[in-house]
């Protein structure tokens, strides 16, 4: 599973070219690889690129990116109050795009952060809409009609 996690994260971040933008991405990679290592240590190694390894890697990714998104929103809110360095909005949106929308929604409600800026909210809800559209497409029968 560790090999699968490293390969998928490497491919994912090369495609989206996000590692150079924000230190939170490095933390995400470390957390996912650490979770994969611990899983293999206590449950045994999984076949690289097997179905179970890929599913567990994706579950680890979703959990960790939501944790990172919560942290990013928390530190951005704290920085906004202290008038110090902020997390760029592009970084917050990229966290949302790669799976952090549930945590972003929770963070916006808990800390009342980024709730007044209309452009940010519009971008957030567009991301949510497209993610729901992708999920619907993946789990519906419409793909059979399109790709017949």
Summarised one tens digit per residue, pLDDT across range 35-66 is: 887 777 777 776 776 777 778 888 888 888 89
In angstroms, the CA 142 to CA 145 distance is: 5
pLDDT digits 0-9 by tens, 101-110: 999 999 999 9
7 pLDDT above the threshold of 80: no
Q: Give backbone dihedrals phi and psi of 113, rounded to 5 degrees, phi first.
A: -110, 135
When the pLDDT of each residue in the chain is averaged and rounded to a whole number, the result is 80
136 pLDDT above the threshold of 90: no
Distance of CA 118 to the CA centre of its chain: 23
What value does the mean pLDDT take over residues 122-133? 93
CB count in 10 Å sphere of residue 7: 15
Domains identified in the chain, total number = 1
Q: Which domain holds residue 106?
A: 2-146
- pLDDT category at 130 given cuts 50, 70, 90 is very high
pLDDT at 148: 56
């Amino acid at each position: 599973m560790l090999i699968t996690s490293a390969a998928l994260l490497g491919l994912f971040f090369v495609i989206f070219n996000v590692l150079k933008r924000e230190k939170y991405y490095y933390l995400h990679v470390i957390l996912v690889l650490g979770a994969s290592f611990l899983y293999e240590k206590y449950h045994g190694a999984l076949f690289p690129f097997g179905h179970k390894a890929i599913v567990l890697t994706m579950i680890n990714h979703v959990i960790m990116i939501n944790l990172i998104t919560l942290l990013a929103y928390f530190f951005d809110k704290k920085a906004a109050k202290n008038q110090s360095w902020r997390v760029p909005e592009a970084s917050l949106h990229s966290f949302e795009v790669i799976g952090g929308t549930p945590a972003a929604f929770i963070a916006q409600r808990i800390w009342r952060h980024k709730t007044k800026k209309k452009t940010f909210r519009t971008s957030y809800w567009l991301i949510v809409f497209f993610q729901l559209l992708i999920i619907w497409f993946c789990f519906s029968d419409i793909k059979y009609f399109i790709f017949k």
